[in-house]
Amino acid sequence: MTKTENTVIIKGLTKNFDVRFKEAGLAGSIKSLIKPKNIVKRALKGISFTVSRGELIGFIGPNGAGKTTTLKILSGLLYPTNGFVQVLGFNPWEKKPEFLKNISLVMGQKNQLWWDLPAIESLKLNRAIYEISQKDFTERLNKLTDLLDVGNLLSTQVRKLSLGQRMRLEFVTALIHEPEILFLDEPTIGLDVIAQQKVRDFIYEYNLKNRATILLTSHNMNDLLDLTKRVIVIDSGEILYDGYLSELVRSFAKEKIIKVYLAKESDIKKFETIGKIIKLDLPYVSLSVPRESAAVAASEILQSFAVADLTIEEEPIEGVIRRVFKGEMVKQS
């Protein structure tokens, strides 16, 4: 189908936004009117990664990291400032029809459905835009509405639907042309848990059945844990990590968790000098200690207490992802 197995190639991509800077207060407003001051916001500072056909990748980071900017550049909505970008062998910003027919950008907070019309009307419009034959259209519509369980909602005015129903219809509309690549920007945001699960199941199926390439941005822990194997972590316009989700802990976790079952009652005050107590439910104690001193801490515990059982564990992956969302990761040297 495609000429290249690397469906997405980004090398040294930068994106600067010119932002007009205004000092606070009235004086600031006047000053900026007389002598406007522009500052450059460096949203992407030279990022590089490639994505192979059929991969489903989590693209994660704190707010303002540059995720949406990247997805917009990949879909041809924004020009890059510098660097090399290729999607399915195309320059996205040239917006060639063969390119547009094979990608889709779905944004959780933005919709392409017409608010006052039933979804079927927007779908028919897309059928015309993407020059889909009546036969393909009917087949795909049946398949998509089936998967997303929205067949009975096609003729309802969009404004009368719930957010979850609308989001699922957004997916039908965004995918009626069966794109090879999906850019999903927070697709489950604001949805209730049931709708989230439906959308998740759908993304999973679409990836599998169509061997579609999917870049998924999400702050939803379950989206990441259920769907992605590889994650790319971005913060302040820089890639901090690109690899297996399961390895993220090893690269980023600064602490280890020591879990102890005490054999008999003891003065637990000493634990506080060894590490940070996470849970105290005697005879069980768990505490976090810096990674590098985990072994020393464990032997200190064994010397100071009568211990029935002791294990040293990695910080749970959820904790690490949470810190990614909060922007608490530091770039690896």
Where on the chain is the footprint of Mg ion (CB under 5 A)?
67-68
The residue within the footprint of ligand ADP, chosen from 7, 10, 57, 67 (CB under 6 A), is: 67
- Contact by Cβ (8 Å): 91, 45: no
Minimum separation from the CB atom of position 150 to ligand ADP (A): 27
The residue within the footprint of ligand ADP, chosen from 63, 138, 155, 162 (CB under 6 A), is: 63
- Report if residue 75 touches ligand ADP, rule: CB under 6 A: no
- Report if residue 13 touches ligand ADP, rule: CB under 6 A: no
Interacting partner of 96 out of Mg ion, ligand ADP, none (Cβ under 5 to 8 A depending on kind): none
The residue within the footprint of ligand ADP, chosen from 2, 11, 17, 139 (CB under 6 A), is: 17
The residue within the footprint of ligand ADP, chosen from 22, 31, 41, 53 (CB under 6 A), is: 41
289: its two tokens:
């200690």
- Contact by Cβ (8 Å): 332, 251: yes
- Report if residue 19 touches ligand ADP, rule: CB under 6 A: yes
Subset of residues 111 to 170 that bind ligand ADP, contact rule: CB under 6 A: none
List beta partners, residue 25.
none
- Report if residue 66 touches ligand ADP, rule: CB under 6 A: yes
Interacting partner of 43 out of Mg ion, ligand ADP, none (Cβ under 5 to 8 A depending on kind): ligand ADP
Per rule CB under 6 A, count of chain residues that contact ligand ADP: 12
* Binding site residues, ligand ADP, CB under 6 A: 17, 19, 41, 43, 61, 63-69
